[in-house]
Structure 1
C-alpha cells in the first residue's frame, strides 16, 4: 500500500482539491482513503488507479454536500484555498502542473453541482474518457456526456473552446506588481480588459469586497490604493513577493510571518481579465508554512 500511496497521492490530491476547492480537505480525503484502502481485499485493487479515484471522489462528494450548506451563509464571494506548488521538477510537482485547472477555472467550477464538477474535473483536468467516468460514478456514459455539456454551458465555455487559460508569465506579473506597489492608476488601467472583474474573499473576517467589482475604472482605482490602504492594519512592514501557487505565477502579500493575501491573475488576449484576491486568514494558513529565505 505504501507503494500505491507514493504512486498515486499527487493524482488523488489534485482530483480531491479540484472537487472541493480546499487543500486541507483534499489532504484529509486522500489520507482517509488510504487508511480505508489498507483493509481492502487485494482482488479489488487490480485496477488501483480507478478504485482509488472512485474512493476519493465519493469522499469529496460527501464533503461537498456539507460545504454547499456552509457557502450559502458565507460572507461575500467564496474563492478556492490557495496552496504552494514547488518549482522543482519532482514527480509530484509534475503531476500537479499537468492535471491542475487554472485558478480562474476553479472559480467557475463553483457554478456547478457537485456531480457536474466531478465530471468536468475528471474529463478536462485529468483526461479520463467517458466510459471511465461513467464507471467511476456508476452512471451511463450518455448521462456523463450530458453532465459535461451542462457544466460547460454553466461556465460559459462553448463547444470546442479550450479550457486552458492564458498563462501569466513572470515578466508580466512583475509588470503588474510594480504598478500595484507604486499605486499608478494609469499603468494599471492599461493592463486591464474592458470587462475585467475583481473578486476578493475575506469570509467576513477581514476587509474585503462582498461582491465582485466589474467596472474597469473602479478596479484600477481599487488596485492603485490597495497596497497603501491596508498597511495601517498591520504592525509589521507589508511586502510582496511572486510565488508559485496552484501551479501559477501568483502574488503573495506578507506582514512579517503572516500571509495577508494571495493574488491570482487571469489574462485574456494579453490583458488582465480577472483578479482574485484571497484574504480570508483561514485559507492562508498553508501559505504561512512556506519556508522562505
Structure 2
C-alpha cells in the first residue's frame, strides 16, 4: 500500500484539491481513502488508479454537499485555499500544471453542483475519457456528457476554450507590482478592464472586503492603498501560476492572483484568511 501511496499521491491530491478547493480537505481525503484501502481485498485493486480515484471522488462529493451548508454562513466571499507548487521551469512544475485548473477557474467551480464539478475536473483537468468518468461515478456515459455540457454552460465556457492553468508571465506580474508601487490611481485604473473584479477572502478572521468589488475606480483605489501600507511583495509559484505573497515583516498577510484579458487586468483574487495560508510555503 505504501507503494501505491507514493505512486498515486500527487494525482489523488490534485483531484481532491480541485474537487474541494481546500488543501486541508484534500489531505484528509487521502488519509481516509488510504486507511480504507488497507482493508480492501487485493483482487479489487487490480486497477488501483481507477479504484482510488473513485474512492477519492465519492469522498469529496459527499464532503462538498456538507460544505455548501457551511459556506452559506461563511463571512464574505469564499476563495479556494492557495497551494505552493514547484519552482517555475522545473519538470515537477510542468507535471503539476498539466493537471491543475487555473485559480480563476477554481473560483468559478463554486457555481457547479458537486457531481458537475467532479465530471468537469475529471475530464478537463485530469483528462479522463467519458467511459472512465461514467465508471468512476456510477453513471451512464450519456449522463456524464450532459453533466459536462451543463457545467460548461454554467461556467460560460465554450467547447473550444482551454481551462488548464496557464502561466502568467513574470513580465505581467512585474508590471502589476510596478503600477502599485507608483500609487497613481489613474495609471492603475488604465491597466484594468471595465468589468475588473476584486475578490478578497478574510473568512471573518481578518479585515477583508465583505463582497466582490467590480467598480474600476474603486478597485484601483484599493490596490493603490496596498502600496501605501509598507508591505513587501514576493513573487511565488502558486497553483501552477505566478502568484504574489504579501508580507508585513515576517508575517504572511495574503496570497494574491491576477487574471488578465486583452492586455489588461480583469480579476484580482486575494486570500487573507489565515487558515488558508498555513500551507503557502510548503510545496505540494
User: Which TM-score applies when normalising by structure 1?
Assistant: 0.91
CA distance in 2, matches of 1:11, 1:96: 9
Gaps of 5+ in 2: none
* Structure 1 residues 124-144: Cα deviation after superposition (integer angstroms, max 9, x where no partner): 000111110000000011111
Q: How many residues align?
A: 283
Q: How far is the alpha carbon of 1:39 from its aligned partner?
A: 1.6
What are the residue-to-residue correspondences of 1:123-202 with 2, within 5 Å? 123-164=123-164, 167-202=167-202
Task: State the shift of 1:289 in Å.
Answer: 5.6
Aligned residue number for residue 240 of structure 1 = 233
Q: Does 1:285 align with 2:278?
A: yes
Q: Is the 8 A contact 1:257 1:288 kept in 2?
A: no
Listed one character per residue, the Cα deviations across residues 114-159 of structure 1 (whole Å, up to 9, x for unaligned) are 0000000001000111110000000011111111111111111123
Q: How far apart, in 2, do the equivalents of 1:56 and 1:221 lie?
A: 43
Aligned equivalent of 1:273: 266
Q: Secondary structure of 1:186's match?
A: helix
179-188 vs 239-248, which deviates more? Answer: 179-188
> 276-285 vs 250-259, which deviates more?
250-259
Please say which of residues 123-132 and 150-159 is displaced more in the overlay.
150-159
1:4 and 1:208 mapped to 2: Cα distance?
A: 42
Which residue number in structure 2 is paired with residue 31 of structure 1? Answer: 31
Q: After TM superposition, give the deviation of residue 266 of structure 1 in Å.
A: 0.8
CA distance in 1: counterparts of 2:183 and 2:127, whole angstroms: 42
Residues 1-293 of structure 1: matches in 2 within 5 Å? Answer: 1-87=1-87, 93-164=93-164, 167-229=167-229, 238-287=231-280
Instruction: Determine if contact 1:23/1:81 at 8 Å carries over to the other structure.
Output: yes
Indicate how the Cα distance of structure 1 residues 271 and 188 shifts in structure 2: closer, same or farther if over 3 A, else same.
same
- Structure 2 CA distance for aligned equivalents of residues 33 and 289 of structure 1: 22
- Give distance in 2, aligned partners of 1:14 and 1:192: 32
Contact (CA 8 Å) 1:166, 1:266: kept in 2 or not? no
Q: What is the CA-CA distance between 1:89 and the residue it aligns to?
A: 6.7
Contact 2:13 2:27 in 1 (8 A): yes
| 8 A contact 2:197–2:219 mirrored in 1 | yes
Counterpart for residue 235 of structure 1 = none
What is the SS of the residue equivalent to 1:287? coil
Find runs of 4+ consecutive structure 1 residues off by over 6 angstroms. 88-91
Query: Tell me, what secondary structure is at the counterpart of 1:217?
Result: helix
Decide whether the 8 Å contact of 1:54 with 1:137 is kept in 2.
yes
How big is the shift at 1:197? 0.8
Question: Alignment partner of 2:280: what SS?
Answer: helix
The alignment's TM-score, normalised by the length of structure 2, stands at 0.94
Q: Does the 8 Å contact 2:84/2:281 carry over to 1?
A: no
